[in-house]
Amino acid sequence: MSSNGRLKPPPTADDIERGFRRPTVVVTRQLILGGIGALSTARSFGWRGVGLENVTAAPQPFILAANHQSHADTAAILGTLPRSIRERTVVAAALDVFGNGSAPSLKRRYLQLIAAAGFHAFAFDRHGPPLRSLRIARQLIRNGWNLLLYPEGTRSRTGELGPFKAGVSVLARFTRRPLIPVHVDGGRQVLPCGAFMPRPGRITVRYGRPLFYGRGDTLDGFAAKVREHVASAAADESAV
């Protein structure tokens, strides 16, 4: 809320990009990434990428659509990407967790800084009308950013792959950019729901071949297709 008592307008894509360039965010990003590296050594956890040729060969910008089991998933995905791609990748983060409330708590402000600085994250509304969030995501892609999002809309508590929301199809349809299916395995073991410190283990990130929204696709049908490709990468490493 602004000083005159009025609600602040939601940030635009340009506002989000300016936020990424703030000196505090730039410095904090380097500290966070360095801290994750040191913590991975101290706590004996890490990640590996499989099928990275599908990423490096794809024309940028592109969409990364991944399953979601743990807060460690984002660090693992970004950690396996080549630096030049990682530095131009934004992450759609849950608005109700990371976004602005009427009176953000200290914890929420801390999460916002960590998410924005460490992961180039922006708030995405997963429960309310998604149009504004989709427009922001579309504009960020048009501005040259790769986009990482989790089409399930939440973390899986069981490890089972949930249904994919049609928002991923909307973005693929209206940006006409390649969509790379991503499967992350091991996040629940390294950082289970409710845990604060990572546990020893290794997360595997598998990147599938790019998909494109075609003339014969429907929003629900394409979302189901993306889910199928993410699931196939989990079932068979050769699928990537």
CATH code (residue 154): 3.40.1130
Question: Residue 51: pLDDT above 80?
Answer: yes
Closest to 50 measured CA to CA, from 95, 25, 80, 85: 80
Residue 113 lies in a domain: yes
Most confident range (mean pLDDT) of 66-70, 95-99, 131-135, 158-162 is 66-70
Mean pLDDT of the chain: 87
What is the percent of the chain with per-residue pLDDT over 90, rounded to a whole number? 59
Beta-bridge mates of residue 122 = 92
Full residue range of the structural domain in which residue 120 is found: 13-239
Query: Is it the case that residue 93 has pLDDT exceeding 90?
Result: no
User: Per-residue confidence at 203, pLDDT binned at 50, 70, 90?
Assistant: very high
Taking every pair of Cα atoms in the chain, the longest distance, rounded to a whole number of angstroms, is: 58
Q: Does some domain include residue 69?
A: yes
Q: Do the domain assignments include residue 8?
A: no
Low-confidence winner among 32-41, 45-54, 75-84, 224-233 (lowest mean pLDDT): 32-41
Torsion sign over Cα 23, 26, 30, 32: positive
Evaluate whether residue 5 is within a structural domain.
no
Residue 13 predicted with pLDDT over 60: yes
Whether 99 is in a domain gets the answer yes
Q: Is the pLDDT of residue 2 over 60?
A: no
141 assigned to some structural domain: yes
Range in 141-155, 190-204, 219-233 with the lowest mean pLDDT? 190-204
Q: How far apart are CA 192 and CA 70, in angstroms?
A: 6
pLDDT band at 128 (very low <50, low <70, confident <90, very high): low
- Helices and strands, counts by H and E, the chain: 11, 7
Q: Phi and psi (nearest 5°) for 47?
A: -150, 160
10 Å CB burial of residue 120 (0-12, 13-18, 19+) is buried
pLDDT band at 81 (very low <50, low <70, confident <90, very high): very high
Q: What is the pLDDT of residue 239?
A: 43
Please tell me the predicted confidence (pLDDT) of residue 8: 60
Q: What's the predicted TM-score (pTM) here? A: 0.88
- Give the per-residue pLDDT at 25: 86
pLDDT at residue 5 is higher than 70: no
Give yes or no for residue 151 having a pLDDT over 70. yes
Read off the pLDDT of each residue in 27-33 and give the average, rounded to a whole number.
Answer: 88
The residue whose two tokens read 């290794």 is 202
Q: Total structural domains in the chain? A: 1
Tell me which amino acid residue 185 is. D
pLDDT at position 48 over 90: yes
Q: Is residue 7 part of a domain?
A: no
Task: Give the other-Cβ count within 10 Å of 10's Cβ.
Answer: 14
**151, 168 Cβ separation under 8 angstroms:** yes
Q: Which residue has the higher pLDDT, 32 or 5?
A: 32
Q: Give the pairing of strands 179-185 and 201-207.
A: antiparallel
